[in-house]
C-alpha cells in the first residue's frame, strides 16, 4: 500500500510504510525539531521500544526549511510511519525572538552567559507541548518525548525540569479521565558532550541534524547554538559531521 498525505488547513499528516518497523504496546509522540538533542532523544525512545509518532513544528524560524528536511530524514531513518507537520506561524507574528524576527540580529556565542538570549521564543515549548498532547490524546499515545536540556542549555526558561513537571500536572488536569499521557525528558540533566556520547552509543546519524540559528547551507559556527554543539564534539574528541563556514575552538 503506498504512503498517503492528508492536508487539513495548516496541519499535514503523513503515513508511510516501512517493512522494518518495530512496534510495542506503548505509543509515544516524539517532538523532532531537527536538532541534535531531538535526534538523540528519538534514538533513546526507539531503543526503549516505543512505537513512535513524529511531530515537527514550523514556526517561521530562520532555518525552517533545513530543520524540516532534517525532521524528515530522522523520521525516515528510524522508520517512523506516523508523522505530523504543523505550521505555527503565529509565533513569528508574535515576534520577540531573533529566530523569527529578521530585524533582530542573532547573537554570537555566549557560553558563560546567564541572561536569557535573544533567540528565546516566548513560551514556545508550551505551545509545542499543547499540540503534542492534543495529538497524543487522539492517536492513543501515552508518552511525549522532547529533547529539552537544562544543565547545558542557553538558559531558556521553558527548558527547565520544573516546567515539564508542572506541565505533566496540566496534562493530568486537562485531558480525558481515561488518558494517561506523560512528558519524558531523557536529556534534561545531561551536558551537551554527554548527549554526543550517548548518541554515539546509539549510532545516531548526527549528519541528519541541524543546530545553527542563522544559516541553512553551511552552519555559521559562530551563533550560540553552533558554539555549544562544536564545544560538545570537541570535548568528546569527535568531529561534527555537518559543514561549517568556520570551526572555532571553544575549549
- Give the per-residue pLDDT at 17: 41
Question: What does the pLDDT read at residue 52?
Answer: 98
pLDDT at site 155:
80
Cβ-based neighbours of 158, under 8 Å, separated by 6 or more: 123, 124, 125, 126, 148
How much is the pTM?
0.90
Q: Considering just the CA atoms, what is the radius of gyration of the chain in Å?
A: 17
Enumerate the H helices of the chain as residue ranges.
Answer: 36-47, 64-77, 90-94, 124-139, 161-174, 192-201, 224-236
Where the chain has pLDDT below 50, the residues are 1-11, 13-23
DSSP 117: P
Domains contained in the chain, CATH given: 4-236 (3.40.50.620)
Query: Which pLDDT tens digit goes with each residue over 90-119?
Result: 999 999 999 999 999 999 998 987 789 999
User: Do 30 and 136 contact (CB within 8 A), yes or no?
Assistant: no
Q: How many CB atoms lie within 10 A of CB 203?
A: 8
Amino acid at each position: 500500500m503506498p504512503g498517503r498525505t492528508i492536508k487539513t488547513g495548516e496541519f499535514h499528516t503523513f503515513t508511510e510504510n516501512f517493512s522494518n518497523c518495530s512496534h510495542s504496546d506503548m505509543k509515544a509522540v516524539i517532538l523532532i525539531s531537527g536538532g541534535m538533542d531531538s535526534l538523540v532523544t528519538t534514538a533513546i525512545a526507539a531503543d526503549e521500544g516505543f512505537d513512535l509518532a513524529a511531530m515537527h513544528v514550523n514556526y517561521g524560524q530562520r532555518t525552517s526549511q533545513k530543520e524540516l528536511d532534517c525532521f524528515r530524514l530522522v523520521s525516515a531513518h528510524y522508520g517512523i510511519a506516523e508523522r505530523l507537520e504543523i505550521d505555527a506561524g503565529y509565533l513569528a507574528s508574535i515576534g520577540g525572538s531573533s529566530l523569527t524576527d529578521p530585524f533582530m540580529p542573532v547573537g554570537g556565542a555566549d557560553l558563560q552567559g546567564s541572561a536569557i538570549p535573544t533567540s528565546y521564543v516566548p513560551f514556545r515549548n508550551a505551545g509545542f507541548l499543547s499540540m503534542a498532547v492534543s495529538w497524543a490524546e487522539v492517536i492513543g499515545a501515552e508518552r511525549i518525548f522532547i529533547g529539552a536540556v537544562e544543565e547545558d542549555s542557553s538558559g531558556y526558561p521553558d527548558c527547565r525540569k520544573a516546567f515539564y513537571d508542572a506541565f505533566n500536572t496540566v496534562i493530568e488536569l486537562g485531558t480525558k479521565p481515561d488518558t494517561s499521557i506523560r512528558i519524558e525528558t531523557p536529556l534534561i540533566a545531561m551536558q551537551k558532550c554527554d548527549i554526543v556520547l550517548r548518541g554515539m552509543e546509539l549510532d545516531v546519524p548526527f549528519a541528519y541534524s541541524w543546530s545553527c540559528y542563522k544559516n541553512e547551507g553551511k552552519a555559521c559556527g559562530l551563533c550560540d547554538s553552533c558554539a555549544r554543539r562544536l564545544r560538545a564534539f570537541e570535548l568528546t574528541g569527535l568531529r561534527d559531521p555537518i559543514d561549517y563556514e568556520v570551526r572555532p575552538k571553544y575549549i
